[in-house]
Amino acid sequence: MREIQALLTGGVPAIPNPRSGDVFDPNSGDIQARVLFGDDATLRAAVTVAEAAQPAWAAVNPQRRARVFFRFKELIERERDALARLLASEHGKTVPDALGDIQRGLDVVEFVCGIPHLLKGEFTEGAGPGIDVYSMRQPLGVVAGITPFNFPAMIPLWMLAPAIACGNAFILKPSERAPSVPVRLAELLREAGLPDGIIQVIHGDKQMVDAILDEPRIKAVSFVGSSDVAQYVYARGTATGKRMQCMGGAKNHGIVMPDADLDQAVEEIVGAAYGSAGERCMALPVVVPVGDATADRLRERLVAAIGGLRVGISTDPDADYGPVVSAAHKARIEGYVGLAIAEGSEVVVDGRGFTLQGHERGFFVGPTLLDRVTADMRSYQEEIFGPVLQMVRVDDAQAAMHLATRHPYGNGVAIFTRDGGAARNFAAQVEVGMVGINVPIPVPVSYHSFGGWKRSGFGDHNQYGMEGIRFFTRVKTVTQRWPASGERQGSSFTIPTMA
């Protein structure tokens, strides 16, 4: 059985007698590898090495640090296809979708190639008589990232690229369900010239997460995963004084106004609801048509589009989406469909019990459409994270906005309309972190930033963009005066002002 090792740099000893986890191939249902978990002693050793290495890395001038990321970008591009196949084999998403996962992470690597500019501080000349004020952004020291299974390239890169470019040492604890690509990315970063000790990848489950959270020498933790875990991680990390950003789950609504281009909306919604088997925090699992006439027309088109979907293995070039990540997750998704029906939803297309010929043990779930879902249903309130689209009918635009605003999650939302004024009003008022206007998956580009509201995000600062730079640095502000020799002001017993 293939073993997936930690990536320990700078002389951290190998892990003795490791615990391990099974890594499946979701296409076949077989265990394809064992991932070796670190223990508390390994983490402590990794932090010791990281802490010793970090000051020298922070002292490397930012232009030279940027060059490591320029080379890293080239190496990822060189290995892009192999990375995508490896990623798809552990996650289950199609190879073209895996290429997108890598590209979205690469975008952040490209962003941090501008780190000399991004870290330029602020300067005020003459803030008072002979007084200048300047501020600088300094790294935090040793920081960590804990990532989910569903974007094994993009999310580790969201974190490690800004953290390391800012001059920190970084410890990554990737998802134990899809650990190979994060390790390979760290190897490529080493190949790009990153010094010993600045990156460590340690595998594990809750035990390793707790060890990271309780380790006082780790100054900040970036987490992405499900909301209950995000909230727990946030509380435990802040209790030990860490800076924490914890992104959680989602239940994104796609609102379809009566004036929307329905053919366009249906194409977009089907892709966003069923792409990656719905295992995206920016998927669109809830569609909200405004008015019954819109709902009926939309439903008819959705049923036709779903009928044309092809579920297949990750390497099938014609597959629209592949298997979900595990047998347990498949059972959970199908359980939610059963719950939704028991709660009174109408099942229009039922994807339960789906099997793919030749891959009967794979973790496939057929596309599912539920109509007449209502806001009080548990199946609506909770994240299903599968290829299940729930339709909630409302009478007017205000009710649609309230639905998204009142939902416990607030990651993304999309509105489909031709009315610019209505869209603008919606974007301004809805209580959700990322808004799409005729854009189904409004994941912001790498030079903006990513973050949800309410139960979709705990802590401060979004991921990547300037928000990522802010999260992984702290500001120091210097007020300076160079008095001429003999120039004296005498003691002052009032708060100094520039008045």
> Residues interacting with ligand NAD, by CB under 6 A?
146-151, 173, 175-176, 205-206, 209, 224-226, 229, 232, 247-250, 281, 383, 385, 411, 452, 456
Strand 286-289 versus strand 346-349 pairing type: unpaired
CB of 332 to ligand NAD, least distance (A): 10
CB of 269 to ligand NAD, least distance (A): 18
CB of 88 to ligand NAD, least distance (A): 17
CB-based contact 392:286 (threshold 8 Å) = yes
CB of 438 to ligand NAD, least distance (A): 22
Rounded to 5 degrees, φ, ψ at 252 are -80, 140
CB of 106 to ligand NAD, least distance (A): 17
Residue of 212, 370, 192, 214 lying closest to 278 (CA atoms):
370
First to last CA, the chain: 73
CB of 6 to ligand NAD, least distance (A): 14
Helices H / strands E in the chain, number of each: 15, 21
Closer CB to ligand NAD, 189 or 432, in the complex? 432
Strand 131-139 versus strand 473-481 pairing type: antiparallel
Q: Residue 383 has which token pair?
A: 């994240």
Closer CB to ligand NAD, 211 or 265, in the complex? 211
Q: What is the 3-state secondary structure (H, E, C) of 356-425?
A: ECCECCCCCCCCEEEECCCCCCHHHHCCCCCCEEEECCECCHHHHHHHHHHCCEECEEEEECCCHHHHHH
Residue with tokens 């005066």: 481
CB of 250 to ligand NAD, least distance (A): 5
One-letter amino acid identity for 438?
Answer: N
Rounded to 5 degrees, φ, ψ at 271 are -60, -45
Q: What is the DSSP letter of 38?
A: P
Closer CB to ligand NAD, 393 or 407, in the complex? 407
Closer CB to ligand NAD, 74 or 228, in the complex? 228
CB of 155 to ligand NAD, least distance (A): 6
Closer CB to ligand NAD, 9 or 147, in the complex? 147
For the chain, helix, strand, coil in percent to 5 are 40, 20, 40
Could you list the active site residues?
Answer: 281
Residue of 259, 229, 255, 258 lying closest to 244 (CA atoms):
229
Burial track 229-265 (b if 16+ CB lie within 10 A, e otherwise): bbebbbebbbeeebbbbbbbbbbbbbbbbbebebeeb
Q: What is the DSSP letter of 99?
A: H
Closer CB to ligand NAD, 209 or 430, in the complex? 209
Closer CB to ligand NAD, 175 or 345, in the complex? 175
Closer CB to ligand NAD, 57 or 385, in the complex? 385
One-letter amino acid identity for 374?
Answer: T
Chain position whose Cβ is nearest to ligand NAD:
225
For the beta sheet containing 473-481, the strands, ordered from the edge strand earlier in sequence to the opposite edge, are: 122-128, 131-139, 473-481
CB of 232 to ligand NAD, least distance (A): 6
Q: How far apart are CA 222 and CA 471, in angstroms?
A: 9
Burial track 436-464 (b if 16+ CB lie within 10 A, e otherwise): beeebbbbbebeebbbbebbbbbbebbbb
Closer CB to ligand NAD, 148 or 254, in the complex? 148
